[in-house]
Amino acid sequence: MQFSSKIFSKADISHPKQLKAGLSTLLAQSTDCLVLAYSKLDLEAFGAPKAKSGLLSELDLLLGGSVTHANLVGDLDGQSASVCNLRADKSWALSGTKAKRILLICLGDTAKAPERNLNAYSKIARAALKQLSGGSIQNALWFVPSFAMGHRVDFIAEEVRLTIQYAGDQAYRFGVRQPALKFKAKDKADTFNYLTFAGNDACAKEMRAAVLEGAAIVEGMHLAKDLGNLPPNICTPTYLGKTAQGLSKKTGLKVEVLGRKQIEALGMGSFLSVAQGSDMPPQFIVMRHQGGKVGEAPIVLVGKGITFDTGGISLKPGEAMDEMKYDMCGAASVIGTMYTAALLKLKKNVIGVIPTCENMPSGQATRPGDIVKSMSGQTIEILNTDAEGRLILCDALTYVERFKPKAVIDVATLTGACIIALGHVHSGVFSDDEGLVSALTKAGCASLDTVWRLPLDAAYHEQLKSNFADVANIGGRPAGSVTAACFLSRFTEKYKWAHLDIAGTAWKSGAAKGATGRPVPLLVNYLLGQ
């Protein structure tokens, strides 16, 4: 899917005197489909007995009565997200119309919704994109100002990024992106593959930037989805390391991949305790985007990279265990976000850190009751080997102290308890830093990749007490996602930190099974906002 922007200086349909000229400019563009939005008020004005002007009336005149015909047969509706397809006929050529189709989509009653609502816009955008996909339309011209509903220009950037995010999501086909593997030969690319965003001078700067940002977010999401969807016999820790190194050849990213001996030398006993049951060697990946000033404190992203999680000796039930290939979606999202940051050449320093290994049962595997020493020096009693994500993350969180970070955000498919608490709508966010929580919440709202704050009270630490070590790796069934975050917090006292539990949002099950690419949009929007 390709995205671009185009500016038509005089294409202003918000003022009656410029309406005809603006529409004429748009209709004269060669495109498979011109996408325009109208409101319920526009429709009511069009249907009024003495209607002389207005968006639909002027468009009707230029199209030789096509809008009137659509209205008479009931194709026009005042409900939000309702769509109407107009197809070219001989009369269109008389007005110089080159568009083959016009897709009209209703914004609903904008008078009753004066405040901007990104959720409402998302339904409208999805409805329009659905109409463009899967048919003979290959390209479309999306007139951005018609969707603005009279809101401020600076909201346009979020709407354009979100539209691109949805278009990329709709166009994603795993089999098409992995042709060499021939997993699914019947997968075919969507015929709709080129979307141009049209604007005027009033929104040109914001729209151009948003198109570039949105396209880069889609690239990062697609990479994260690919990594998540790949089978675990291919997407191993070594594969993740090579993928990161491959990105360094395509971008300005600097990548370092540490092997077992280097991990041992760092004293990461907690991380290695998870890896020791597998024949696959662990990897510790460090990705650097140096876009800020020399010496500027970086933002550090840490991603959990368990490429397959059997539970270890605390073996999981067999049902749906195949979905444990998605236990590295935290790592995938960090790699995807770093790729996006490099593509955008963000003017800030960002570091991605990924501890990655398998969690397998074997004669060498860690047992429940074992005690290991973390890189921080704290000892951990492993009561359940299926609570392994925190064991690899804690050493990574100690490692990143050396960067003197501005903030650290770890991303992990950490607990099933978070799915019970929040379902598949919000990712859980845990932090004692109000500014960091606020920034992540705002970024989530701007991308509709939302988070919900869960507690991190000191009282929950009582559940992690051990008679034999400094801390136990689980605190029992009550508040499982909270005690997991509390465990991690013990290793983050030297910097600002937030934990994202994406167990409910990183992938979908059932007929729509597959990685979602979340929280790449959230993380990128957070970085853009810093």
Give catalytic residues, as residue numbers. Answer: 316, 390
Contact 398, 493 (CB under 8 A): no
SS3 239: helix
SS3 106: strand
Q: What's the rounded Cα separation, in Å, for the pair 171 and 308?
A: 27
**Would strands 83-87 and 101-106 be described as parallel, antiparallel, or unpaired?**
antiparallel
SS3 2: strand
CA distances from 208 to 5, 161, 474 (A): 6, 10, 48
Rounded to 5 degrees, φ, ψ at 229 are -80, -20
Chain centre to alpha carbon of residue 445: 12
Contact 423, 452 (CB under 8 A): no
Cβ neighbours for 186, distance < 8 A, ≥ 6 positions apart: 175
Secondary structure E strands in 312-369: 349-359
Which of 2, 449, 3, 524 lies closest to 289 in space, CA to CA? 524
Neighbours of 476 (CB within 10 A): 12
Q: What's the rounded Cα separation, in Å, for the pair 365 and 507?
A: 28
Neighbours of 426 (CB within 10 A): 21
SS3 36: strand
Contact 157, 210 (CB under 8 A): yes
Rounded to 5 degrees, φ, ψ at 73 are -90, 5
The full length of the chain comes to 530
Contact 513, 322 (CB under 8 A): no
